[in-house]
Structure 1
Amino acid sequence: MSSETLSFLSPFAGGTSVGVAIEVPQPYARQLRELRECVEGAPAVEIIGPHITLVPPTHLPDFDLTGVEAQLERAARRVAPFVVELAGAGTFRPATQVVYAALTTGGPQCDRLQVEARQGPLEQELRYAYHPHVTVAQDVPEDRLDAAEQALSRFHARFTVAEFVLYEPGPDAVWHTIRTFRLSGRT
């Protein structure tokens, strides 16, 4: 593990879990969080902020993140900063009960970044084909999913992605950013 990494070592578990994502910046993160709370109800604690998943939660057999960090550093060097635009709603219904903010710009770059990140110690088969998005409602009644879809029809965000983060769940069950990786590839 590098000296830049904060990690939560638990004496109660064999290994740890990590995830990799692009965090949605403010003020858009706050707007999406408020929308999700309106649809799903306010959680006692926010487990993870609005984000675009690159590598889903992945269990690792030990706490040594050296290989993970090296892989993510390589991925960051291979992809240049890019623009993401979120506009409108999408849904995975009926396969899963999810409504999300849809990417209208930046999808191919997210896909390339997730392919680069999901190698080495993070290599895995995905349950579903990769589709970059920001979840706003999940596993709630149909009328709440419909409400989220309608509310997102008016949502628009545009921001530059210059970094992504490595998350790890802490003892509080909240996913914490433990390291940030800056994109430095060429356009």
Structure 2
Amino acid sequence: MVADGPARDAAEGPGEAPSAAGGVAPGGDGGVRTIGVAIPIPDPYGAFLQARRASFGDPLAHAIPTHITLLPPTEIPDSEVDAVQEHLRAVAGTETPFPIRLRGSGTFRPVSPVVFVALAEGIGGCERVQAKVLSGPLARPLPFPYHPHVTIAHHLPESVMDQAFKELAGYTADFETWGFSLYEHGRDGVWRPQCDFIFGDGAVPSPGGNRGGPASQ
């Protein structure tokens, strides 16, 4: 999630997503909220990569849970929340857990100022789930081809981006993804999970989710 503008953040090739930019927070004026859908990176890997992102001085490090984007920042009316959740529940019900292997670093520069940890396994699974998520009530065009990744540095000085690229070049992590989460963007600029969608099962509220409050996202 980034604070640079929703059009740019919607880029699922180059770009950071979900993004903290744009949109009206849940319960805000106009009854519109900004959502994103992503596969969370489980701890200890997620916490480690978030800490590394913070160590590079990325001001968004603590506003963005470590993730692989499925749906970039998208505004929806409050009236469509139930339909979106039902859609996501149906998508999750058609899938089964699959392995993901993170290995090494990559970058979208010079097209977009992003350094990321790359997927060596699980790309096909992410692509399949992403295509299903971006259908029905969430159907939308993307300005770039979908490229699953885990952002670790965004919009930082070139020397810092180079440092991030080098320091994560040897990084590896293996885990099985259980499903994906629906996130909302809060007035405080923080993205928070609201509901988890379990592959082959259903949906459960995310711990600590605050669906009704103005700071939930």
TM-score by length of 1: 0.88
In structure 2, what is the Cα distance between the partners aligned to 1:41 and 1:104? 25
In structure 2, what is the Cα distance between the partners aligned to 1:63 and 1:40? 38
Give the alignment of 1:158-177 within 5 angstroms: 158-177=174-193
Give the alignment of 1:11-30 within 5 angstroms: 11-30=28-47
Structure 1 segments, 4+ long, off by >4 Å, are none
Higher relative contact order (CA 8 A, sep 6+): 1
After TM superposition, give the deviation of residue 21 of structure 1 in Å.
0.3
Checking the alignment, whether the CA contact within 8 Å between 1:16 and 1:63 is kept in structure 2 is no
In structure 1, what is the Cα distance between the partners aligned to 2:30 and 2:41? 30
* Alignment length (residue pairs): 177
Checking the alignment, whether the CA contact within 8 Å between 1:9 and 1:63 is kept in structure 2 is no
Q: Quick one: which of 54, 59, 62 aligns to 1:46?
A: 62
What is the one-letter code of the residue matched to 2:177?
V
After TM superposition, give the deviation of residue 104 of structure 1 in Å.
0.2
**Residue 5 (structure 1) aligns with:** none
In structure 2, what is the Cα distance between the partners aligned to 1:82 and 1:110? 9
> Identity over the aligned pairs, expressed in percent?
38
**For each residue in 1:136-160, what CA deviation from the matched residue of structure 2 results, as whole angstroms up to 9, or x when unmatched?**
0111111111101101112111110
1:92 aligns with 2:108: yes
Q: Helix, strand or coil: the match of 2:36?
A: strand
In structure 2, what is the Cα distance between the partners aligned to 1:103 and 1:182? 21
Unaligned 5+ segments in structure 1 are: 1-7
Unaligned 5+ segments in structure 2 are: 1-24, 202-217
Checking the alignment, whether the CA contact within 8 Å between 2:58 and 2:153 is kept in structure 1 is no
Checking the alignment, whether the CA contact within 8 Å between 1:16 and 1:168 is kept in structure 2 is yes
Q: Helix, strand or coil: the match of 2:56?
A: helix
Give the alignment of 1:117-132 within 5 angstroms: 117-132=133-148
In structure 2, what is the Cα distance between the partners aligned to 1:121 and 1:40? 37
What is the one-letter code of the residue matched to 2:37?
V
Q: Helix, strand or coil: the match of 1:54?
A: strand
Q: CA RMSD in A?
A: 1.7
